[in-house]
């Protein structure tokens, strides 16, 4: 009997990669789907159609019953993960539930627990798996799997488990966005349920949903106010909106195009099944550039809240701090528009005579810029005074924000303050923090 298996060798390769690189594994990681596929194959290999577990071809039914047949007290985190998968309205097949379980268990670091349970309970193992044609049914291979999964718990997975509505169909996940829209009576969306998915057929120009290119025709509305919409009826959607009328609209959206700018295949099938004008569908090809890594956005849109929502701006203390250098400011007079960012940054870079080491602190209510040498505040602006922030596309380390002498809607003297961040990534993080701050504050006004 072989004491090895090709799937375990593949898994070992992923474990080594994630452990040695010491990275945060997100949904954007190109090897995540491959890892999940291997894990799924391992759990599926040699499975029997057991009378204990509804004669299913998939591993999820036996995992789902772990809390009921485990002799020992079940791991509470594993129980929570299992209950969450059971209650999810986004997956309806055992295939999809198993996939959601794998993703959730990776996040919560409990994927090794069911393997430990079945390794100890040989009667269960024989009931579920063929011994000579499986990994989990083979004592030696199951031990090897346990050690690999234990190593995998040292990797840090930061996955959007909300992004689950297409797991019944594929491991290739779509781009997933969360937005908070201003309170309104009409979102400006024309939608239709197609095969259980709420497809956006058109977006009214000038509407709240269309603002800043948040939502496009071909997107799928996945959640409203935390409630999954897959498989629901239009009346449920109307009831949810009515229930929260007058409050900011919390909406989760599955984008119609993938990270390469191509139509996401499962959504493409929905578009084909729906009565969507072909020209509307073709517009998706044009907006794909908004999510392409090779595309340079205009200066006033380079900070897009499509990026901001992925970044944890506020820590446990309610703020975030960045090391930077303050280079100076440009006086703009009455003009506090975002389009002034580009020329203001260029002007300061050409003419600045100072380079002060500072700490930029983003609190819940304001931006503080502290001289690290003198330990005193250089700048202090509340988010209500900030009218815009951004950076040039050709100088990504340099960021700027525009602020007035009072609330920006009343201000008559705007200045553009320019900073050099340590890296392009930190520059993006800081800009997202400022943008979230002033957008959040302005929504409350």
Do 193 and 151 belong together in one domain? no
Do 389 and 246 belong together in one domain? no
In this model, does residue 266 exceed pLDDT 90? yes
Tell me how many degrees the CA angle 237-238-241 measures, rounded to the nearest 5.
90
In a domain, 394, yes or no: yes
For 339, which DSSP code?
T
Q: What is the CATH number of the domain that holds 340?
A: 2.30.29.30
Cα gap 305→179, rounded to integer Å: 8
In this model, does residue 255 exceed pLDDT 50? yes
Do 185 and 116 belong together in one domain? no
Do 187 and 133 belong together in one domain? no
In this model, does residue 114 exceed pLDDT 60? yes
Q: Burial code of 10-45, b = ≥16 C-beta within 10 A, e = fewer? A: bbbebbeebeeeeeebebebeebeebbbbbbebbbb
pLDDT in tens, 296-316: 443 333 443 333 333 333 333
Decide which of 444 and 150 is more confident: 150
Do 273 and 358 belong together in one domain? no
Mean pLDDT on 219-233: 94
In this model, does residue 436 exceed pLDDT 60? yes
Burial class (CB in 10 A: 0-12, 13-18, 19+), 81: buried
- Per the structure, the count of domains in the chain is 3
In a domain, 170, yes or no: no
Do 144 and 23 belong together in one domain? yes
Do 18 and 145 belong together in one domain? yes
Q: What is the CATH number of the domain that holds 219?
A: 2.30.42.10
Tell me how many degrees the CA angle 94-95-100 measures, rounded to the nearest 5.
95
Do 95 and 19 belong together in one domain? yes
Give yes or no for a contact between 430 and 319, defined as CB atoms under 8 angstroms apart.
Answer: no
Do 150 and 181 belong together in one domain? no
Pairing of strands 156-157, 24-25: parallel
Tell me how many degrees the CA angle 62-159-317 measures, rounded to the nearest 5.
125
What's the pLDDT at 295? 38
Encoding tokens for residue 142?
């199951």
pLDDT in tens, 342-367: 999 999 999 888 899 999 998 878 89
Do 10 and 145 belong together in one domain? yes
In a domain, 300, yes or no: no
Do 311 and 408 belong together in one domain? yes
Cα gap 187→396, rounded to integer Å: 34
Among candidates 32, 305, 76, 368, which has minimal Cα distance to 172? 32
The domain of 216 spans 176-293
Q: Which of 120-134, 225-239, 430-444 has the lowest mean pLDDT?
A: 430-444
Percent of the residues in the chain that have a pLDDT greater than 70, as a whole number: 85
Count of other CB atoms within 10 angstroms of residue 225: 14
Banded model confidence at residue 383, pLDDT cuts 50, 70, 90: confident
In a domain, 18, yes or no: yes
Average model confidence (pLDDT) across the chain: 83
Do 108 and 43 belong together in one domain? yes
Q: What is the CATH number of the domain that holds 15?
A: 1.20.58.900
What's the pLDDT at 288? 42
**How many Cα atoms are found within 13 Å in the side-chain-facing hemisphere of 69?**
18
What's the pLDDT at 6? 93
């Amino acid at each position: 009997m072989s004491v090895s298996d090709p799937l375990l060798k593949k898994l070992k390769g992923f474990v080594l990669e994630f452990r040695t690189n010491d990275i945060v594994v997100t949904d954007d990681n190109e090897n995540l789907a491959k890892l999940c596929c291997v894990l799924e194959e391992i759990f599926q290999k040699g499975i029997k159609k057991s009378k204990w577990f509804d004669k299913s071809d998939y591993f999820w039914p036996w995992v789902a019953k772990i809390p009921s047949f485990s002799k020992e007290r079940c791991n509470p985190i594993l129980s929570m993960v299992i209950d969450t998968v059971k209650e999810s309205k986004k997956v309806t097949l055992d295939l999809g539930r198993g996939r959601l379980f794998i993703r959730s268990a990776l996040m919560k670091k409990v994927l090794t627990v069911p393997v430990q349970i079945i390794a100890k309970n040989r009667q269960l193992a024989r009931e579920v798996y063929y011994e000579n044609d499986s990994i989990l049914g083979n004592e030696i291979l199951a031990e090897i799997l346990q050690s690999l999964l234990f190593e995998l718990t040292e990797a840090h997975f930061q996955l959007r488990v909300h992004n689950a509505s297409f797991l019944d169909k594929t491991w290739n996940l779509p781009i997933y966005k969360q937005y908070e829209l201003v309170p309104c009576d009409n979102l400006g969306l024309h939608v239709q349920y197609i095969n259980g998915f709420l497809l956006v057929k058109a977006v009214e120009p000038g509407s709240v949903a269309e603002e800043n290119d948040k939502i496009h025709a071909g997107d799928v509305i996945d959640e409203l106010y935390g409630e999954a919409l897959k498989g629901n009826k239009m009346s449920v959607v109307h009831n949810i909106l009515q229930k929260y009328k007058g409050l900011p609209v919390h909406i989760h959206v599955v984008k119609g195009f993938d990270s390469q700018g191509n139509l996401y295949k499962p959504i493409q099938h929905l578009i084909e099944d729906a009565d969507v004008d072909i020209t509307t569908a073709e517009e998706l090809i044009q907006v794909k550039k908004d999510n392409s890594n090779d595309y340079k956005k205009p200066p006033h849109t380079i900070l897009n809240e499509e990026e901001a929502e992925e970044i944890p701006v506020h820590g446990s203390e309610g703020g975030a701090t960045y090391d930077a250098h303050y280079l100076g400011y440009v006086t703009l007079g009455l003009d506090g528009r975002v389009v002034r960012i580009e020329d203001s940054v260029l002007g300061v870079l050409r003419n600045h005579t100072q380079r002060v080491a500072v700490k930029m602190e983003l609190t819940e209510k304001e931006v503080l810029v502290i001289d690290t040498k003198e330990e005193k505040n250089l700048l202090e602006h509340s988010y209500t005074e900030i009218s815009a922030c951004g950076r040039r596309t050709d100088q990504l380390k340099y960021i700027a924000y525009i602020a007035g002498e009072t609330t920006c809607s009343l201000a008559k003297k705007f200045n553009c303050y320019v900073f050099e961040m340590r890296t392009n990534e930190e520059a993006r993080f800081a800009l997202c923090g400022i943008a979230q701050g002033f957008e959040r504050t302005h929504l409350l006004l």
